[in-house]
């Protein structure tokens, strides 16, 4: 049998609750189409391509892929699911991490 635990709080899932929630997040580079002009078509881009290839030579395949696409999958219990829906980008949590006056 497959055992699931909540990725936020660590609670075992499907033992006390009838339901679990799955959150899938995709992060990918958003390349907006640019207008191509006649000058762009006439320009020699070999130098720029060589520079990009040189930058890529020091990186491994995972680093290169992470710059273009990354996906995550999380299992949540009902309580953490509700907290996630209220603040999916954790904006309120970041605000609470302020320093206290000593």
**pLDDT tens digits, one per residue of 52-67:** 888 888 888 888 888 8
Is 100 within a domain?
no
Cβ contacts of residue 8 below 8 Å, gap of 6+?
74, 76, 77, 80, 83, 84
How much is the mean pLDDT over the chain?
A: 84
Rounded CA-CA distance 51/41 in Å is 19
Residue 102 domain-assigned (yes or no): no
Residue 101 lies in a domain: no
Q: Does 54 fall in a domain?
A: yes
Contact 75, 20 (CB under 8 A): yes
Question: What is the number of structural domains in the chain?
Answer: 1
pLDDT value, residue 67: 83
Asked if the structure places residue 72 within a domain, the reply is yes
C-alpha to C-alpha distance for 18 and 23, rounded to whole angstroms: 17
Residue 40 lies in a domain: yes
Sequence-distant (6+) residues with CB within 8 A of 68 are 28, 29
Question: Could you list the residue range(s) of the whole structural domain that residue 27 is in?
Answer: 4-95
Joined tokens for residue 98: 């302020």
Q: Is the pLDDT of residue 26 over 70?
A: yes
Mean pLDDT of 78-86: 94
Q: How far apart are CA 99 and CA 102, in angstroms?
A: 9
């Amino acid at each position: 049998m497959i055992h699931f635990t909540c990725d936020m709080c660590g609670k075992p899932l499907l033992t006390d609750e009838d339901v679990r929630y799955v959150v899938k997040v995709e992060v990918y580079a958003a390349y907006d189409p640019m207008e191509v002009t006649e000058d762009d078509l006439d320009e020699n881009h070999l130098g720029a391509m060589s520079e990009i290839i040189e930058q890529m030579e020091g990186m491994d395949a995972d680093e290169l892929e992470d710059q273009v696409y990354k996906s995550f999958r999380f299992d949540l219990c009902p309580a953490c699911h509700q907290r996630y829906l209220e603040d999916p980008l954790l904006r309120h949590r970041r605000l609470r991490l302020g320093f206290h006056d000593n």
